[in-house]
């Protein structure tokens, strides 16, 4: 078997990769009957030369590869017929902008496996960048707060930026004396909390957070959905009920917004769940929030100030809650500044790639290299298209693929 690591072709560019040079070298040594090669790229966090130094073959043409691994969607024009592709596809939720990509898989006899659906027998995700999104989300949000208030400056991440540097940079500034709320309890939230703990922010309880006190440190609290919504009929919140009947709940977010200066959105949200901060809420005089890091980046979703995604080059925009429009960045202190980069882990491409590779190796690469790919339930569950046909699990995409 020959496995290829693809050059990223999506715009804006992504600098991550499925395996680092040392990870590829180790697998090539352990499985000499197969080979992992790397497609030449000028944008990858690890250079071609770094792979060559580890004895890894760097190629321009990947047509002899059996399985091809990327990070983001490959350009349709680059897709090779009858190959097996693995990357984040963004098609299984019927994302309209990627309908042509799904159609290309079907027309070209391609097999496609999506990282997002690599799950265990209990439907728990095995390979994800969420923790790193939370880490970078905190850095970007605090950096934006410093730029907005002119209290401090944090350097912009470059291609070789690391977690160690990120923490050190935050430790070298005088942290703002504000209240910061982190929403959610999953990997994204855990990554955000990791950074806040490392830099000496003070975690407080819900009761302590929701009262007027003199702020002498960067104070934060964490609230999952059970603390952010309430049943419309006044009955008690239960997770089972909320998951089954989200339409029976309404936002209880304003009690937090009254005491929050900086918001980090790290929660999972679905369209049938309550809107946490409506346009009306954002206009309210009770809303104290003036800096929002929407790490989950649900456009016009649970937080209505997230009106568009941002980029690493320009991570911030200002939202005027009175007009509900975007305005000149940092021009008006009463505007809400939004950080909405939807690929936050790409700010730490080397660390994030190593982390991701360490998850992929046991669950995906080793089964493929040992010849057990066809028998892997993990790979099977994540395979949306096989040999140009929708798999049974994703057969609901048939109408979508046909343009309906």
Q: What does the pLDDT look like over 261-313, one tens digit per residue?
A: 999 999 998 888 999 999 999 999 999 999 999 999 999 999 999 999 999 99
Distance separating alpha carbons of residues 266 and 192, to the nearest angstrom: 8
Which residues lie below 8 Å from residue 287, measured CB to CB, with a gap of 6+? 254, 257, 258, 277, 281, 321
| Mean pLDDT score of the chain | 96
Which residues lie below 8 Å from residue 161, measured CB to CB, with a gap of 6+? 347, 348, 349
Confidence tier at 403 by pLDDT (50, 70, 90): confident
The residue with greater pLDDT, 221 or 268, is 221
CA dihedral 386, 389, 392, 397 (to 10 degrees): 120
* H-only helix segments in 11-153: 21-30, 48-53, 99-107, 130-149
pLDDT over 90, % of the chain: 94
Confidence tier at 12 by pLDDT (50, 70, 90): confident
Confidence tier at 51 by pLDDT (50, 70, 90): very high
Give the pLDDT confidence of 157-195 residue by residue, as tens digits: 999 999 999 999 999 999 999 999 999 999 999 999 999
Distance separating alpha carbons of residues 316 and 397, to the nearest angstrom: 35
What's the whole-model pTM score?
A: 0.90
- Would the pLDDT of 356 be above 90? yes
* Residue 394: both structure tokens together: 């994703």
- Would the pLDDT of 213 be above 90? no
Distance separating alpha carbons of residues 259 and 215, to the nearest angstrom: 11
Q: Are 293 and 183 in contact (CB under 8 A)?
A: no
Distance separating alpha carbons of residues 315 and 154, to the nearest angstrom: 13
């Amino acid at each position: 078997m020959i496995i290829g690591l693809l050059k990223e072709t999506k715009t804006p560019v992504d600098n991550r990769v499925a395996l680092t040079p040392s990870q590829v070298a180790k697998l090539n040594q352990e499985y000499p009957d197969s080979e992992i090669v790397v497609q030449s790229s000028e944008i990858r966090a690890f250079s071609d030369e770094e792979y060559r130094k580890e004895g890894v073959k760097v190629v321009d043409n990947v047509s002899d590869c059996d399985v091809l691994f990327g990070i983001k969607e490959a350009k349709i024009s680059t897709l090779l017929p009858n190959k097996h592709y693995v990357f984040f596809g963004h098609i299984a939720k019927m994302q309209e902008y990627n309908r042509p990509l799904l159609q290309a898989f079907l027309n070209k006899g391609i097999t496609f496996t999506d990282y997002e659906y690599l799950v265990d027998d209990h439907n728990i995700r095995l390979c994800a960048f969420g923790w790193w999104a939370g880490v970078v989300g905190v850095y970007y949000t605090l950096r934006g707060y410093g730029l907005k208030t002119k209290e401090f400056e944090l350097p912009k991440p470059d291609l070789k930026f690391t977690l160690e540097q990120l923490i050190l940079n935050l430790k070298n500034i005088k942290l703002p004396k504000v209240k910061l709320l982190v929403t959610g309890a999953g990997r994204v939230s855990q990554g955000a909390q990791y950074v806040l703990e490392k830099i000496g922010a003070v975690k407080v309880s819900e009761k302590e957070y929701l009262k007027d006190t003199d702020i002498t440190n960067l104070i934060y609290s964490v609230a999952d959905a059970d603390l952010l919504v309430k049943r419309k009929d006044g009955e008690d919140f239960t997770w089972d009920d909320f998951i089954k009947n989200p339409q029976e709940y309404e936002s209880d977010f304003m009690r937090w917004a009254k005491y929050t200066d900086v918001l980090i959105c790290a929660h999972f949200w679905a369209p049938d769940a309550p809107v946490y901060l409506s346009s009306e809420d954002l206009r309210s005089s009770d809303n104290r929030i003036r800096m929002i890091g929407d790490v989950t980046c649900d456009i016009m979703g649970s937080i209505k100030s997230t009106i568009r995604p941002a980029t690493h080059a320009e991570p911030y925009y200002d939202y005027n809650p009175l007009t509900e429009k975007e305005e000149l960045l940092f021009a008006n202190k009463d505007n809400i500044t939004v950080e909405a980069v939807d690929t936050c882990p790409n700010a730490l491409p080397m660390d994030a790639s190593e982390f991701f590779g360490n998850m992929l190796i046991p669950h995906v690469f080793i089964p493929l290299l040992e010849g057990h790919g066809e028998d892997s339930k993990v790979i099977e569950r994540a395979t949306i298209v096989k040999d140009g046909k929708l798999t049974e699990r994703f057969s609901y995409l048939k109408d979508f693929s046909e343009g309906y």
